Structure 1
Amino acid sequence: MFTDTESEILSSTWALSEQHAQPWLLMVAQILQGKQVSQADPNFKKEVRGYIIDQDGQPIDRNENPNTPINSIGVIEISGPMVKKGSWYRWGAEELVRIAEYFERDPNIIGHIWLLDSGGGSVNAIAPFREFQKKKTKPLIGLADMCASANLYAGVGCDKLVARNNISSMFGSIGVMATLIDYTEYLKAMGIKERLIYASQSSFKHKSYNEALKGKDGAFKKEHLNPLAIQFQEFVKSQRPKLKTDVEGILEGKMFYAEEAQEIGLIDGIMDFEEAVEEVKFLSQVRTYMNN
């Protein structure tokens, strides 16, 4: 799980991972060819991340059927690097939660399924999911393949967290990390000398970060990483009361495949999509019975 500090650091550099660079390749090629380009292709559409299925688990074509059938279920895909705010090519947590809120308001939708398939992301991507989980009234099943770090943080807040298969599904990485990129040598090689000048009244501004760049990371851990890691651990324990916390590495970042994750109490079971649909219907019936 990346800290907000790391997100700021990464966004301030020119370094892009291959995964993040892919959507920009066409634009870069057009620029190199001397063409005028806009930031977003008007014909570009982000992959669908939220949709509605009927009580049999079949997707509903809203063009053919604008009215939501009774006993429908809202589905949201949370995949790839998790960020708070989306862009023209990537979904953010705030956008996905707005879809979930729409499902919550529709009286013909009885519950939610979140398809979780992410290794995590920025810390600030977690809060929108947690805020929604606190106020929702309909059952929510987290059906996961890769569910690690920030994605697990969001997943354990579901009514039930289950593995989608017992082959590739993995859970864990309960921990916090930051990557600090020191590009001073690169700038030096380019003949650029960077000096940071702080006001006399700002002696603690960026202090732990600058010390960490010099290899002294104690203050950075104490200020940024350790508090978040402890909060993460405590939240998981509060949501998973049967968690076997004595298992080596469980709260320190270790990953577990589905069967072991179930055995140690990190997840509730293993289901395919059809079984998750039936579980939502069952939980919805239980809530209706309890309310009546």
Structure 2
Amino acid sequence: MLRQQFLQEIQASNLMIHSSGYEMLNHISNAIIDGTFTPEAIEQTILSTRGDIYLEKDDAGNPVNPFDSWTEGSIAIIPLTGIMMKYGYWWSYGVDDIAAIISMAYLSEKISAVIIKGDTPGGSTDSLFLLQEVLLNKTKPTYGFIDGMCASCGYIAFSYLDKIYAINRMARVGGIGVFARMIVPNKDNAYYRVVEVYPDESKDKNLPEREAIEGNDSKMKEDLSKLAIYYRDTVTSNRPGISEETLTGKVYYAFEAEGLGMIDGIKSLSQTVKELETLVAKRKEILSII
């Protein structure tokens, strides 16, 4: 069932992903189709400045807030790694799961701030929706820390954060752009033939995709342009100082991205944690005076 769901998500969603992630999606999709894919389950760790924690469920299957057992004042470090898919698969949480984890961090009285530790080439545009909602309504200081790459969908998500730091000068940032991918069976090697018939009453159904298969991609470009403009406007709204030249899909090194307003600096994770701890302490001091 997960195989079918994965292929459905890839087929139905437009993509915001770096080419490195695209090749992996291509490999997995082909392996699923030809029956050679062997899934490997991976447990992901959620980190806190006070120790390691894991996403758990109670006996009734309800999620347990993993942060409530930690010392007050902890900073949650939540991973956003690998290809971003809306739902969870064998190798990672889905982005909807990550959004739920961030929400639990905001709800827990033990968590003073959140760091989202990102190393992702991006992924499905549909994976962004719930995460956008959670980050748009964040209730605690939330920083992004780029540990490798933060591209496409990943950068759109990071644009909602209070600050973004990169681990070193050569971390990769950007890829603000969209494209669509369709799985079209090879006519020479396919094991089956797909025939589609559309009545006159439904002449526009799947028309952009049908025309693209025949070599005319103008309608799909028109549709993708609407999505590209939406995400471009999202980034410029979230980061008003960002340079316009960053909005056409190019990926930059961190030392370039800082000068273009894409990130707020280059720092180690410990330095990022220290800055947040100082910020939280100052806020508590101000609140105590009031």
Report the TM-score, using the length of structure 2 for normalisation: 0.79
Query: Deviation at 1:46?
Result: 3.1
Moved over 6 A (4+): 20-23
The question of whether the paired residues in 2 share the 8 Å contact of 1:9 and 1:181 is answered with no
Distance 1:202 1:133, change over 3 A: same
Distance 1:255 1:205, change over 3 A: same
CA RMSD of aligned residues (A): 3.2
| Residue segments in structure 2 that go unaligned for 5+ positions in a row | 1-6, 14-23, 55-66
Alignment partners' CA distance in 1, 2:269 and 2:30: 32
Distance 1:28 1:177, change over 3 A: closer
Query: Deviation at 1:85?
Result: 0.9
Q: For residues 1-292 of structure 1, what are the structure 2 equivalents within 5 Å?
A: 7-8=10-11, 17-18=26-27, 46-54=42-50, 59-60=51-52, 67-144=69-146, 145-167=148-170, 169-186=171-188, 190=191, 192-223=192-223, 225-245=224-244, 247=245, 250-289=246-285, 291=287, 292=290
Alignment partners' CA distance in 1, 2:31 and 2:90: 13
The question of whether the paired residues in 2 share the 8 Å contact of 1:82 and 1:122 is answered with yes
Query: Deviation at 1:289?
Result: 4.5
Distance 1:166 1:206, change over 3 A: same
Which amino acid is the alignment partner of residue 265 of structure 1?
G
Alignment partners' CA distance in 2, 1:120 and 1:28: 22
Which amino acid is the alignment partner of residue 118 of structure 1?
T
Deviations 1:110-130 (A, max 9, x none): 010111100100001111211
Query: Deviation at 1:178?
Result: 1.3
Distance 1:22 1:99, change over 3 A: farther
Deviations 1:132-160 (A, max 9, x none): 11222111110002010000000111110
Which amino acid is the alignment partner of residue 237 of structure 2?
S
Report the TM-score, using the length of structure 1 for normalisation: 0.79
Deviations 1:230-284 (A, max 9, x none): 1111111112211122x4xx11111110111001111100111101111221232
Larger Rg: 1
Which amino acid is the alignment partner of residue 260 of structure 2?
I
| Residue segments in structure 1 that go unaligned for 5+ positions in a row | 30-39
Q: Residue 48 of structure 2 aligns to a residue in which SS?
A: strand
Distance 1:123 1:216, change over 3 A: same
Identity, in percent, stands at: 29
Structure (1/2) with the larger strand percentage: 2
Instruction: Name the count of aligned residue pairs.
Output: 260
Alignment partners' CA distance in 1, 2:43 and 2:29: 15
The question of whether the paired residues in 2 share the 8 Å contact of 1:118 and 1:147 is answered with yes
